[in-house]
Structure formats: C-alpha cells, structure tokens
Structure 1
Amino acid sequence: MPVEGHDAGRAPAFKRILLKLSGESLMGSLDYGTDPERVRKVAQAIKQVSERGVEVAVVVGAGNIFRGMQGVASGMDRATADYMGMLATILNALPLQDALEQMGVHTRVQSALTIAEVAEPYIRRRAMRHLEKGRVVIFAAGTGNPFFTTDTAAALRAVEIHAEAVLMAKNGVEGVYDDDPRTNPEATLLTDITHMDALQRGLKVMDATALSLCMDNRLAIHVFNMDDERNIDRIVSGERVGTLVATS
C-alpha cells in the first residue's frame, strides 16, 4: 500500500535499521508517562517503514518514567538507580508493542533482564531471525548492566544485528548543533559531521561510549527530529534529514 510522504516507487536506502527512541518521544504533551496517541503515531511510522520491506529494530529509553541519574542525585546507589531505569524501559516497550500489534505488525520484545512473563530474553540470533521474518524487534532493559546508557545499548545492538544505520530520534531539535539550541538561539545545525569530530567537540549526539562504538564499526548515525514522525520514512527513502554522523 502506498505510504504518504515518500516516492512509493523508490527502493529503501537500507535493508535493516535500528531506531533509538527516547522515553520523552513517547510522552507527547504529558509531564511524564506515555501518551497513547503519541505511541500510536510512533507505531504508525514504524509500520510504514516495515511495510516497505525494511527490517526494524527499536531500542527504547525511559526518561519519561525514571532517570537513573536523578536517583543518584537524591542519594540512591547508582547501580540500583540504573536497574530501575532498565525496568522502566520495559514499561515503554510493552505499550509500543501493543500499538504495533493492534496495527497488524508482528512484534517481539527482547529484554536484557530476565522477565519471562512479558518478554523474550535477548538472544542475538533469535533477534536476527525475527527481523528476517519481517517482525519488529524492540530491545528493552538497555544492555542489562548498570553504568551504561540506552544510547550504548542502541549502538551495541545495532552492531550485533548488523544494522546498516542507527536512526537517533531527538525531541524538539532538528539534529546536532554546534551549541545547545535551547539556550543559544545562534546555534547552528550541522548537517554532516564525523564521529571523531563529535567526540572531540563534545557534541550531544549520544554518549561517548556509544559514539565510540559506532565509530569503531563505521556505523552511520542519522540524528533527526521525532516531532515529525514522517522523518523516519524520509531517511529510509534516502533523503537527508537532520544530521548525518559518519566516518568518511
């Protein structure tokens, strides 16, 4: 079926992608939690890409529910806070799975923490088999280890499953800037940058561990504004959207 917003006759630029969604991208206009309408729109965007024959894996964050560092700031043990954050990502993965399946998209949640009643354990080869069968796979619970972010989980899973690109969804910004656009109205959008430049300049693409992992494996990162869900399809169509982080 034709997908609005792209040339239906154009072959996708990628066979397999990993989409990194922040918890905030599922929050909509709420102060916290998940907005069902926002989740539905994100699911629709994923469905459109999947229907084009692109294999889609997703890593979800949990900033809308719990941030590990906030727990540390209030005196909580860092490892305990991080495990709570990992559990919170499962609370985001399940409604996204439900929304996709209500649209007829076969979806599996794989968790890096054992929670057999609601999710499969993360098994790399099983995840790749799901993708080959056209199922969307949502990776929850980060890497399963404290002290690592969901950005690092996204980079790690993308490399493991041989994704061709990471699509890094941002909220309220169009891509990577040379300064924080929320505090500096003169900040300039960077359309192209290398992994090394981003690391050396301390730009907010993803955390340094994740960025280094992508650089070491020459994995391109497309940083874009998730406020317009059609951007996912545009990137898959080969259009330049937001910022491309790549090693030439």
Structure 2
Amino acid sequence: MRNIKLTIEYDGGRYLGWQRLGDSDKTIQGKIENVLSQLTGTDVEIVGSGRTDAGAHARGQVANFKTESDIELPAMQETLIRNLPQDIIVKKIEEVPERFHSRYNASGKQYSYYVWNETIPSAFERNYSFHYPEQLDLEKMQAACQKLIGTHDFIGFSALKKTKKSTVKTINNITIEKEGSLLHFTFVGEGFLHKMVRVITGTLLEIGAGTIELDSIDEIFESGIRSDAGITVPAQGLFLDEVYYD
C-alpha cells in the first residue's frame, strides 16, 4: 500500500469549501477524489490537513491518500492537472511513509488575509481581499497583535459554540504589512479554530478604526464571548499559505 502526499493550490471562489459534502460536486476534496478514483479504478478518499471555508483559497494545502495503484507519480500528477478544473492545481506529489497523516502530523500552519484599505473598491482585488474603507491606526493594530501572540483560549475569537475539545491555541506570530492600499495580515500558529483568523482580522480592523478598544483583547480572552470581538471578515481574502511538518 502506497501513501501519497499532495500539495495543492486552489482558488476557492466558486467552491463550497475543502470538505466533501454529500452529493455536491462543488468542493475541492470532491473534485480531486473524483479524478483519483477514475485514475486508479478504485474509490479514493483523501485526507486534508484541515478544512478551508467556502470561498477561501490555498497556496499550500496538504492532503494524503492511500492506494495500491502502481501508477508513477509524474503520470499521476499530469493526469490530475489535466483533468481538474484550472482553479485547482496539484503543485507537488510525493510518496511518504505509511504512517504519515496530513492532519494529525501537522505541527503548524500559516495563513494570509488581505484587506483593500481604500475609499474606492478595487475591480481587480475584489475576489482576493476584503474592502474596508475606514482609516486605520496601524500602530494600535500592531499593539493588538502582540496581545494575541502566545497561548490563549481563543473561543471568543472563533465561530465555535461550547465544545468538549480544547479551544486553547498558540499563535507564534502575527504581522501586518502595507503594500500600497493592500494590507497583508500573516498568521503563524500551531493550529486555528473555525473562522479564528477571520474573526481576529475583523477585530484588528475594528481596533484600528477605533470602534473597539485595544484592551478589549484581554476582556475577550477573559469572557470567551464571541459577540465581544469584531466582525467575521469574508472568506475571499483568506489564504492557507503553508502547512508545517516536523
């Protein structure tokens, strides 16, 4: 039995997210599984490093699947590229040890979020960023980033309700870079809760605009109440950049 690892890039704009959904053919996982199943002649189930939301994108999603097929990897990759939609690309394909698991073995992830911070929207950036026209205090936003870095209970910065699973996560770094009118937020951490990056970004924007106070970060950690945090920014500005493995 072979264990095959895929590194995948996709534009999620017209999909319902990563995870296969019943009889829908509008998911990234479903599209890839369909091609692999036809190629190998058996039902193939791929395991992703994690889900991405409907409309979100990836530069470095990782998945793996097991197969008894002896098809050579270059031919497998060529078939995937030729038969998948043009907005889903398998950038790399490799054989890995049998025990490798794309989700359980992941040690961290990097996400990017893009904000078009200008009064007038952009016709070109609209599918890959969030238009936020308010004037922003970047210095205050940078200070808020420092409060978020570290190990905390992030349930108040997520879309999760109460859960038996731990909501304590570690963020290693958050940066904000201004590239003309485009703000590039980068998040690096051991793991992220559902919509956590999008809620944190919305909170940072509202702190920068002055509608939420900087000290609210500490209060949200204390209360764990989602409504105390900022808006959930839309998915089109979100990219899964990379999945890390030890």
TM-score interval, smaller chain:
under 0.3
Choose 1 or 2 for highest CA Rg: 2
TM-score under structure 1 length normalisation? 0.27
